[in-house]
Structure 1
Amino acid sequence: MNRSRLTETFDAVEEQTDRLLVLSRFVHPDRGEVHCPAAPLIAAWLTRQGLPAATAGFGRVTRPTSASPATATARQHAGSVTATTYIDLDGRVVGIAVAAPAHHTDLATRTVATWSRTLRTRRVLVPLGDLPCGPPPATEPALPGPRPGPLHPLSEHLDCPRRARTRAVLGSYLDRGDTVLLLGSEAEQEHHWRERAGLGSADVISVPDPVSAGKVTVPAPERLSFVIGSCARLDDVPALLRILRRRFPMLRGQHPDLWCYAASDLLRMARTVADRSDLTLLLGPTAHFGAPSDRRAVRRIDTLGDLSPSDVADAATIAVIGAGTSAESSDTAVITALSGLGPLSVVHHRALSAVVTDIDKAAPPTAAADRIAGQGR
């Protein structure tokens, strides 16, 4: 990248408005079509500073030449384009470019210089996994510009098979007259879960944490069951069960084959990528992903304008958490913008807990295992 990098100022062939235009593409006189994926990020950063800016595609630019007074007047009206361009690994020409009228040329030059200092080869680490099926966020993230859909599309997963199985088990416990403890669900998630399942509150008691487990009271301890709340973090469940089983020895509950590992797997991956990164970006609602290690730099990004040049300049590896949970959904506005700040490698990390239910159909034991089994008889 550095060997092909050029910073230049051009005359703008097209006439401009009276504000800065951060170019999403333009035609370089020598390098041809230039793609500028970071344009929405830079425009949002300028707007955040009170400098009206917009993104726009642009036509051809030309090199400045000496000209007659009439041509100079026309050039002043059209303004100029300041750009840094480089050739990416795939052969495409990528750049940062700002078009400005004559009285904003210095501002355009400073903007390009500031963001050009952030250019470097980077990795982006993205945790992938089955999306926790809790309630949809009250509001969608406010990242500007076109994007391929919500950053956190929880509403698409409300009727997953795991949720349906848990609901069926809970219903069977209620049918036999048990009080049911719903373990691990946060209050908002549990309320949404009840509403979807058509459950009342009298016979289902939420136990979200160890404090609740130590205080919960039930009308008939001998008729008490538990289920794991939809997409609860299973790392928290054993501690709850230890407390509850000490207090209620007759407690019965959902078989572990029916527990859902989606939230725990995704949380584990989020922590893994955060701890391997120089900078962690949290996009939109990220309650399901937990907090990364506080030893690392963390920025919560609600709009692209929240990301500044100083945030990314020294970050060679960036974790993007909350951008989606599949390879198709991870190409968000933030990741796309980062791809315009130097050659980018996007690495998907996945954790998968698979429940094995066919252990009774395993292959016959080996001779050694037969001998050991015989010694035990």
Structure 2
Amino acid sequence: MTVLGQRALNRALLARQHLLERASLSATEMVGHLVGMQGQAPLAPYVALWTRLSAFRPEELARLVTGRDVVRGLLMRGTVHLVLADDARVLRPLVQRVVAAGYTGHFGRRVGGADLGEVAALGRKLLEERPRSRRQVQDAFAERWPEHDAEALSYAVAYLVPTAQVTPRGVWGETGPARLTTLDGWLGRPLAEDPSLEDVVRRYLRAFGPASVADVQAWSGLTKVRDVVEAMGLRTFRAESGEVLYDVEDGLLPGPDVPAPVRFLPEYDNVLLGHADRGRVLPPGRRVPLPPGNGASRGTLLVDGFYRADWRLHGTGLTVTPHGRLATGQRAEIVAEGGRLLEFLGAGEAEVRFGGI
């Protein structure tokens, strides 16, 4: 099998993520192509789309959010993702056991003797009545089960019941608390009864491949998918480590020396988190930062295709903090692209500065 080095895998990933060249696609098409976008920080997907699309405006995604064409909820790896409504119907049943296991892993010791079936049933009933915050659910549980840890039980609802975070949270220019309702109720349609893992794997590879079985599992959170992947008849390569990499037949494979422009990424972008082997983007020893916040105010920076700096928006401008020395040309490119980001964020009069090194 052909061996693909880290730079070749880097360029393949950037091409498929539309980070080598911005795409002339709609926000709907891009969200669907990416099989969802990290959404813990509610406004992060706006920056993620801006850096990938040639003519994106935040109002486009805001309309999709308010129109329920896209939805935010716990999905891959048990983390909050923004996905197309139709994809949410498929993905949540597919990863439900992963999401549920995440709850017992985090809160198992605090649950005690509570009947989680009853907890889920009351949680669903409460959310079907009206969208509620976790604290409102907690108060209801404390009244129903005063002998148990109501706070721990309140978290169970999002994990055990397929839910959606409702607007105005996640809408550009608006604010609101994190409130939940049932996913099928928010979408007005039932969830898929027999979702196809094979279809999701192919879509993942089209946006993230070539990738190993471990990569597929790291992205989705699922386990024991090797037999499924190996039976799909995919084309194969080999990583420098010797691991087999799987791919769709039409997956983009630009050369390792194709130039990669500077790209600003938001918090938690899946290009940094979508593989078990993150060396195709992260330099040795570098971890993905996981800052708190609402999004669209900080993130990471790709230089020559790799994570080489962090950025943060503040009152006086945008500060870029490199992890090492940058060439003069790279700094100039960062300033130019940072200026475009500031304009997108509505801070076009601010300046791009360098901090740290």
Q: Quickly name the TM-score band, shorter chain normalised.
A: under 0.3
Tell me the TM-score normalised to structure 1 length.
Answer: 0.24
Q: Which has the larger share of strand?
A: 1
Q: Which has the larger share of helix?
A: 2
Structure with higher Rg: it is 1
Tell me the TM-score normalised to structure 2 length.
Answer: 0.25
